[in-house]
Amino acid sequence: MPKRLICTVLILGAACVWSAAAAETRIKDVASFSSVRENQLLGYGLVVGLNGTGDRRQTFFSTQTLTNMLERSGITVSPDLIRVKNIAAVMVTTNLPPFARKGSRLDVTVSSIGDAEDIQGGVLIMTPLRGADGEVYVTAQGQLALGGFSASAGANRVQLNHPTVGRIADGGLIEREVPVSLSGRSELSLNLHRNDFTTAIRAVRAINGAVGNEVASAVDARTIRIRVPEGYGERIVEFISVVENARMEVDFRAKVVLNERTGTIVMGKDVQISAVSIIHGSLSLQVGTTFAVSQPAPFGQGQTKVVPETTLKVDEEKGRTVSLVDGASVEDVVRALNSIGAGPRDVIAILQAIKAAGALQAELEII
């Protein structure tokens, strides 16, 4: 990656964080009410109608599932007699949104759990989806839609994206509701998405300012208790809307995020570095072996031999030194590392060394 591009990426990441911190954020973007949440659902099902790309003989539970399904339809057959390649055992997942009502529909995701090559064109047979309590909340069925395909002929094979995971739009039918009642409540609990005492206090002030009354108080760094005013007793939805649209500035800890796989580095605006000196250089060591032939003189008694010749070359780049004053900002750090020609991997190593030396006043996270 070019050095200027490194500098641009780092400064751009810092500029994005600066603008995010300076702008006011709605409460609904950083917090949610404890009683308003999604519920994860899971089910085991069978996809049929595949064109010979289903589970093979190594996957026994798909044929056993088909046998059980046929028995419930009044057809008795032994699993050993089933020789089909157009079925695939799958897991079906979805999230049940809050306030979902009976008869409503939602999307479901279908994933193969056997050794099927491709589930494109398959149809999911009616599958019950259960929650953590074991109750059935949704039944799923329908035609799969995939964003890829797989085709093979002989030793050649072509594949686009992931052909063993599909989605059924509106394939889930809600059969049971999760009871969530807001009417008549005198108190609500608001949970921040991230723990931070300063953000919690700012949220309390923003809510009280929007409502015009001291109704909110911080329980801890994440939880805010909100008392419903008497005037909103029968208008709880309107009151929640007022709370969610209150605006505030979000505070966060100084952090540097490093991605070693891609060499991406993102720094927040509050990252500070104490007085430190950095010496950066590189050492290149090359070892090679060539083979020469040694022959005896004419009419001599010696033998022809192959003699290895080893070459050693060492190139050491002169170390470059840069010093940072106490309280250096993100821009100072970027300019300093860029001035010594540090690449993304070098920057990651340098920041880790600065953190180990105790000069980086920020949390260092490697992903």
pTM of structure: 0.66
pLDDT tens sequence for the chain (367 residues): 444 444 444 444 444 444 444 578 999 999 999 888 899 999 999 999 888 888 876 667 777 777 787 778 787 777 666 667 888 899 999 999 998 999 999 999 999 998 888 888 899 999 999 999 999 999 999 999 987 666 666 556 666 667 889 999 999 999 999 888 887 788 999 999 999 999 999 999 999 999 988 999 999 999 999 999 988 878 899 999 999 999 999 888 888 888 877 777 787 777 877 777 777 665 444 555 566 767 777 766 677 777 776 665 656 566 566 676 776 766 677 677 777 677 777 777 878 888 888 888 888 888 8
What is the rounded distance in angstroms from the CA atom of residue 296 to the CA atom of residue 105?
90
125 and 141 in contact (C-beta within 8 Å)?
Answer: yes
CB atoms within 10 A of CB 259: 14
Domain boundaries, the chain: 1-23+252-367, 24-36+181-248, 39-174
| Coil vs helix vs strand at 326 | coil
| Coil vs helix vs strand at 343 | coil
At 233 the pLDDT is 78
At 15 the pLDDT is 45
Distant-in-sequence, close-in-space partners of 146: CB < 8 Å, separation ≥ 6? 119, 120, 161, 162, 163, 165, 166, 167
Q: Please state, in angstroms and as integers, the Cα–Cα distance from residue 350 to each residue in 11, 102, 337, 360, following that order.
A: 17, 57, 9, 11
At 312 the pLDDT is 59
At 320 the pLDDT is 65
At 10 the pLDDT is 44
291 and 306 in contact (C-beta within 8 Å)?
Answer: yes
What is the rounded distance in angstroms from the CA atom of residue 265 to the CA atom of residue 347?
8
Residue 243: name the closest of 197, 212, 201 by CA: 212
What is the C-alpha R_g of the chain? 32
At 107 the pLDDT is 96
What is the rounded distance in angstroms from the CA atom of residue 55 to the CA atom of residue 112?
9
| SS3 sequence of 297-312 | CCCCCCCCEEEEEEEE
CB atoms within 10 A of CB 125: 18
Place of tokens 């809050």: 98
At 20 the pLDDT is 41
| Coil vs helix vs strand at 54 | coil
* Domain range 24-36+181-248, CATH architecture: Alpha-Beta Complex (3.90)
Q: Please state, in angstroms and as integers, the Cα–Cα distance from residue 341 to each residue in 9, 282, 345, following that order.
A: 15, 11, 11
Residue 359: name the closest of 277, 273, 280, 278 by CA: 273
Output the six-digit token pair for 112. Answer: 């193969």
